[in-house]
Structure 1
């Protein structure tokens, strides 16, 4: 059973399961994160996102990190997973997000993010722990902070 972090699902609401891969990218005490701002729902996020049908979690992780940050990564290792129930306005969808979180090494910036509304930002891990937009991401960032 994967632990739930965040809001309790609403009774009677139908949720669509959405598996995703997300990553913590430390360099010293700095972490590469994504600032997402569509003008309505600004949020600090771990780079990552949905796993497409037929795509492996690691392939999705590399693709999503590049799209959201412009960086390539290496050596992802799984830290754990959590579930969260949320509304995804960009898809007009109530989702049960099954989030697998990794830690990897940022290798090279190959350009700006290619995904709209995303900005790659280096931040101190202690700031990231407090500022991430959901409790699952914060949980794994806190674990990482204890090791840096």
Structure 2
């Protein structure tokens, strides 16, 4: 059973299942995050949807690069969660299955290529309080509590 964070599904509403890969990207005591500006500022773990025929790790590399401009190495899956959310960019209600990885950011190649995203470095404890959804906050808090 995958733990759920946030509100449950609304009765009578149809949800589309969307599987995505997301990353904790530590460097020292900081995490590399992305801030999505539209429809409003939202601090997130970098990552996103897995395209048809794409593996989760391939999607993770692609999404992190698009949202942060960074290349990553050695991704390792550390958990998963689900949440129910409205996705305004697709105009759909989704049951998001979020596969969480820890990876090493190795090289900044330039600014994010995905419009409306900005790479942000933040102390892990601050990220655990400020990330935009409870699942991301949970995994950032677990990371911050590591010795």
TM norm structure 1: 0.97
* Cα separation, 1, equivalents of 2:22 and 2:53: 18
- Classify the secondary structure of the residue corresponding to 2:141: helix
CA displacement, residues 55-81 of structure 1 (integer Å, 9 cap, x when unaligned):
000000000000000000001111100
- Classify the secondary structure of the residue corresponding to 2:107: strand
CA displacement, residues 102-147 of structure 1 (integer Å, 9 cap, x when unaligned):
0000000001000010000111111100000000000111111111
* Cα separation, 2, equivalents of 1:61 and 1:85: 21
Determine the structure 1 residue equivalent to 2:35.
35
Map of 1:6-85 to 2, 5 A cutoff?
Answer: 6-38=6-38, 40-85=39-84
* Cα separation, 2, equivalents of 1:92 and 1:14: 12
* Cα separation, 2, equivalents of 1:7 and 1:76: 29
TM norm structure 2: 0.98
CA displacement, residues 35-88 of structure 1 (integer Å, 9 cap, x when unaligned):
1102x3210000000000000000000000000000000011111000100000
* Cα separation, 2, equivalents of 1:66 and 1:147: 26
* Cα separation, 1, equivalents of 2:40 and 2:133: 13
* Cα separation, 2, equivalents of 1:93 and 1:99: 17
Runs of 4+ with deviation above 4 angstroms = none
Question: How many Å apart are 1:92 and its aligned residue?
Answer: 0.2
Matched residue count: 147
Q: Which residues of structure 2 form unaligned runs of 5+? A: none
